[in-house]
Each structure stands twice: as structure tokens, then as C-alpha cells.
């Protein structure tokens, strides 16, 4: 049974934040990778030194030099913001919800048993191996670290090693508050040290992260119950219904906790890489590019301190919770967000989509599948190479693609779905764990191909379907 419900802060994922940079394997923050965005900076530096291409503009004051310096500064600032900036949201997650007390546990001045590293990893939280001291890495490898003790979780927070989570400590070393960052939902790790512990992979969706279950640990959910007019048990029930890798960024806008079929209304955390050149940067449209989502998520989902304006959310008939909370024109006294949006946006658009590695697809079959993609299967009609979405206004109503329109109808403005850019489809262990489409309704690429083959009456043979799937895996 659907009931009005809005978890404004359950966004512990910045869902939408949508965003980030695939620094797959730099050994440290100070050592840029030889590939990825910093490779472009290195190439640009070589250009100004006369090593590549036409001669650079003479003189240190040449505008080319200013462009390069600006690019480097934006990447560095944007990465720092994406990984570590809470936008002041600790006032919500720590001061109001007191979530840090549940993490610390009663023995460390909090409440309850606390959250051990083993439990945190089971909830999908990740640990940045590059933030760990060498001796701790050795002890972890030797099994000499107590992963059953919440005190170890607190120690990891002190090292700033938990992706997307910042702990704030008092003078005695006690955990007094906590906040979250974009990286909470939109980064994971490569598991190089252990499952859930490794080098950062910014922009990769954390499909292990159980955001709802983490939020439901909070001792005080009164900010939600007061807004929604429901009891504590109802709030926790809805949060725990989302499951790993999903989040509902509209719940605190329209109050719809479930879909018409009775399943949770939460959607998959989307990949936030490969968005350069793509319009409408989320599952459903009429919300513009990443910079809209950065402001929306930072203010209305992460509960940071800033300004967000979208008067469409002031309609009480369509968005009753948003209208009640004033989310369509939210203006906090101190703005800790707006000035950071340019660098954050720049960094996000620099994140490349991971490429399929040799052996992850059949090259000969993929070549045949490419011809089908561009021809008989009609995929390229909407998924236009090489961006694999439509240049321009890339939106379609659910009936156009053979699905319901529930999630699209939750959007302000035009009620349509974005043509999702096809990226890194070879990886179903991390990037596409949980399925395909906004809600994971198609478990496999074969399910997706079968759906379109039937809906559009393409008449693909079994071999053609196999070839098409191999091509999709190569993208």
C-alpha cells in the first residue's frame, strides 16, 4: 500500500550526485595516473613546452597557459570537493539524526552496540587503501586487525579512509558528528587489498551500498517523522526496503514509497562517468545536466547548507512533500555549496567510462553485432555512436520503449526517460550489479535484448542476439 512518504535525508548517497572520476589506480592522491584526465593535463603541458602539435602562444601570460592552469586547478579542486566536502551536512546526519552515535556504540560514547568494520563492509561501505598507513596495510593483510570492534571503525574514520564519510572528533578523540560526500554513493574501490578495501574508483556506482539500512541505524529519525506525519517504524520500514545499490531521490519530494506494483520506488545508483557530451544526466529528464543534480542532491538529499531553486517543486498537488518543505526555493543562511559547483562539475565531466578489457567479449561476434546495432536492431536510432545517447533532447516516454512511466512521472517538467548512454556494459560485478534500467528490472543484457526484440518486433535470431550482446559488452 502506497502512502505519502518522504525521506529527504535518506539521500545518504547524494544520489544523484552522480558524479565522479575514475582514478582507478593512482598509488596516492599526489601521484596522478598516467591515464585518465591527468594524462590530458600532461599532454597539454607538453603542448605548451613545444613537444606536441603547433607552438604554444609565446610568453608566460599567453591565454593558452591560463586555460591549462585553470583546467588543472578545476580538476584538483573538483576531486577534493567530490571526495571530501560535506557541504556542512554534518548538521543533519550528525547533529540531528545522530547517526555517528550508532556508528560509535555505547562503549565509545554513542548508543547501541556500534558498527564494526565487518558490519560496515557488509552494508557496502568502502575503505580507501591509499589512506591507510603502511603498517596498518600489513596488519590487515596478516589478519591482525580486529574487524569486529567498532573502535576500529572510528580509527578508520580518523584516517579519513571510509569513502564518502567524514567523522568529526572532539579534543578527547571521541566521535562527535559525521557527514557524507558525493563519493558516498558514487565511488567504490577495486578490492586490491581485500573485498571492500582498495584504490578508489570515482564515478563508479556503489551497487553494494545499502543506503537505506545505514540511515535506518540513526537513533533519531524525528526530522523525517515530523515532515512526513508517519511514525518511526514506518520510516525505518521504507528505508530498509530499498536494498543494496538503490536510493530514492524523489521520496522527500512526492512521498511515494512504492511503485504501482508494490515494489520499492528506489532506483539504482547510476554510473557517473562518461557523461561528457550527454544531456539530462540521470534516469529521467527535464532536469538538465550534472550541475542541476549537484545542487539538488547537495541541498535536498545530502542536506548540505546552500541554495537550490526549482519552482516546479512548489506544486503541492504534484510534489506535496517538496512544497511543504519549501525545497523549490531553499536558501540556507550560509551557502557552503554554490561556489563549489563549477569545480565539482568540471571534475565529474572529466571521468572517463571504463573500457572493456580483452577477454571480456568476443571480438568477432562484436563486429557482427555492431552491424546489427547500427542496422536491423535499430539501437543506434536512439543510442547514437559514439556518445550512445541522442545529441540534443534525449528523452522518451515509457510507452515508446515498452515500459511503465512511473519513474518518469516523478520528474518535474517533461515526464520522460533519458536515453541512457551505453557504457561499460561488460562489467556486471560492480558497475551494473543489480541489473539494467533505472530499477534493475532487466537482470541481464539478454533480458534487455529480448525485451526490445519483442517490443519492436525485430525478428532477431538466437545467433544475432548473441552477437549484439557481445557488441554491447565491448562498449
Q: What is the pLDDT of residue 60?
A: 59
Q: Which residues contact 7 (CB under 8 A, 6 or more apart)?
A: 215, 224, 228, 235, 238, 239, 248, 251, 252
pLDDT mean across residues, the chain: 89
Q: What is the pLDDT of residue 285?
A: 77
Confidence of residue 59 (pLDDT cuts 50, 70, 90): low
Give the predicted TM-score (pTM) of the model.
0.86
The pLDDT tens digits for 6-52 are 334 433 333 333 333 333 333 333 333 434 443 433 434 444 344 44
The pLDDT tens digits for 354-408 are 999 999 999 999 999 999 999 999 999 999 999 999 999 999 999 999 999 999 9
Q: What is the pLDDT of residue 249?
A: 95
CA gap 270, 18 in Å, rounded: 7
CATH class assigned to 363-474: mainly alpha
**Residue 57 clears pLDDT 80, i.e. is over it:** no
Q: What is the pLDDT of residue 272?
A: 87
Q: What is the pLDDT of residue 38?
A: 38
Q: What is the pLDDT of residue 461?
A: 98
Q: What is the pLDDT of residue 141?
A: 87
DSSP-derived secondary structure for 157-195:
HHTT-BTTEEEEE-TTS-EEEEEE-THHHHEEE--SSBT
Domain ranges of the chain: 1-350, 363-474
The pLDDT tens digits for 138-154 are 999 899 999 999 999 99
Q: What is the mean pLDDT of residues 161-190?
A: 97
CA gap 153, 418 in Å, rounded: 39
In sequence order, the β-bridge partners of residue 165 are: 180
Q: What is the pLDDT of residue 287?
A: 81
CA gap 46, 349 in Å, rounded: 22
DSSP-derived secondary structure for 388-449:
TB-SS--EE-HHHHTS--HHHHTSSSS--EE------TT-TTTTTTT-BSTT--B-SHHHHH
In terms of Cβ atoms closer than 10 Å to its own Cβ (0-12, 13-18, 19+), residue 260 is exposed
Q: What is the mean pLDDT of residues 96-107?
A: 97
Residue 114 phi, psi (nearest 5): 85, 175
Residue 102 phi, psi (nearest 5): -70, -35
Contact 14, 301 (CB under 8 A): yes
Q: What is the pLDDT of residue 9?
A: 40
Q: Among candidates 306, 280, 302, 292, which has minimal Cα distance to 344?
A: 292
Q: What is the mean pLDDT of residues 432-443?
A: 96
Amino acid at each position: 500500500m502506497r502512502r505519502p512518504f518522504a525521506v529527504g535525508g535518506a539521500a545518504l548517497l547524494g544520489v544523484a550526485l552522480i558524479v565522479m572520476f575514475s582514478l582507478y589506480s593512482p598509488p596516492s592522491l599526489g601521484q596522478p595516473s598516467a591515464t585518465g584526465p591527468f594524462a590530458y593535463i600532461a599532454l597539454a603541458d607538453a603542448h605548451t613546452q613545444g613537444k606536441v602539435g603547433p607552438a604554444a602562444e609565446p610568453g608566460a601570460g599567453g591565454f593558452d597557459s591560463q586555460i591549462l592552469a585553470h583546467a588543472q586547478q578545476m580538476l584538483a579542486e573538483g576531486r577534493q570537493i567530490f571526495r571530501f566536502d560535506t557541504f556542512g551536512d554534518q548538521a543533519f546526519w550528525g547533529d540531528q539524526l545522530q547517526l555517528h552515535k550508532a556508528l560509535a556504540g555505547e562503549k565509545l560514547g554513542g548508543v547501541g552496540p556500534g558498527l564494526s568494520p565487518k558490519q560496515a563492509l557488509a552494508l557496502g561501505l568502502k575503505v580507501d587503501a591509499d589512506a591507510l598507513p603502511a603498517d596498518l596495510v600489513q596488519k590487515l593483510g596478516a589478519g591482525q586487525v580486529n574487524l569486529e570492534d567498532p573502535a576500529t571503525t572510528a580509527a578508520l574514520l580518523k584516517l579519513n579512509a571510509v569513502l564518502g564519510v567524514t567523522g568529526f572528533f572532539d579534543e578527547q578523540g571521541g566521535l562527535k558528528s559525521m557527514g557524507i560526500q558525493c563519493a558516498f554513493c558514487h565511488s567504490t574501490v577495486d578490492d586490491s587489498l581485500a573485498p571492500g578495501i582498495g584504490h578508489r574508483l570515482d564515478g563508479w556506482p556503489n551497487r553494494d551500498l545499502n543506503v537505506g539500512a545505514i540511515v535506518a541505524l540513526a537513533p533519531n529519525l524525528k526530522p523525517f517523522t515530523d515532515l512526513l506525519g508517519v511514525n518511526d517504524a514506518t520510516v525505518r520500514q521504507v528505508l530498509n526496503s530499498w536494498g543494496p545499490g538503490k536510493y530514492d531521490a524523489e521520496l522527500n519530494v512526492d512521498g511515494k514509497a512504492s511503485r504501482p506494483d508494490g515494489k520499492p520506488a528506489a532506483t539504482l545508483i547510476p554510473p557517473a562517468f562518461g557523461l561528457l557530451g550527454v544531456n539530462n544526466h540521470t534516469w529521467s529528464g527535464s532536469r538538465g545536466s550534472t550541475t542541476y543534480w549537484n545542487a539538488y542532491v547537495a541541498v535536498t538529499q545530502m542536506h548540505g547548507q546552500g541554495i537550490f531553486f526549482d519552482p516546479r517543486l512548489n506544486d503541492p498537488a504534484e510534489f506535496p512533500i517538496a512544497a511543504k518543505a519549501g525545497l523549490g526555493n531553499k536558501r540556507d543562511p550560509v551557502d557552503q555549496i554554490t561556489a563549489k559547483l563549477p569545480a565539482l562539475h568540471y571534475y565529474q565531466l572529466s571521468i572517463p567510462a571504463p573500457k572493456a578489457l580483452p577477454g571480456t567479449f568476443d571480438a568477432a561476434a562484436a563486429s557482427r553485432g555492431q552491424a546489427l546495432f547500427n542496422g536491423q536492431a535499430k539501437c543506434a536510432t536512439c543510442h547514437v555512436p559514439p556518445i550512445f545517447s541522442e545529441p540534443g533532447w534525449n528523452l522518451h516516454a515509457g510507452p515508446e520503449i515498452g515500459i511503465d512511466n512511473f519513474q518518469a512521472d516523478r520528474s518535474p517538467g517533461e515526464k520522460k526517460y533519458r536515453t541512457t548512454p551505453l557504457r561499460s556494459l561488460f562489467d556486471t560485478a560492480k558497475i551494473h550489479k543489480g541489473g539494467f534500467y533505472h530499477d534493475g528490472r532487466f537482470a541481464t543484457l539478454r533480458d534487455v535484448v529480448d525485451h526490445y526484440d519483442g517490443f519492436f518486433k525485430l525478428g532477431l535470431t538466437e545467433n544475432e542476439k548473441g552477437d549484439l550482446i557481445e557488441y554491447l559488452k565491448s562498449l
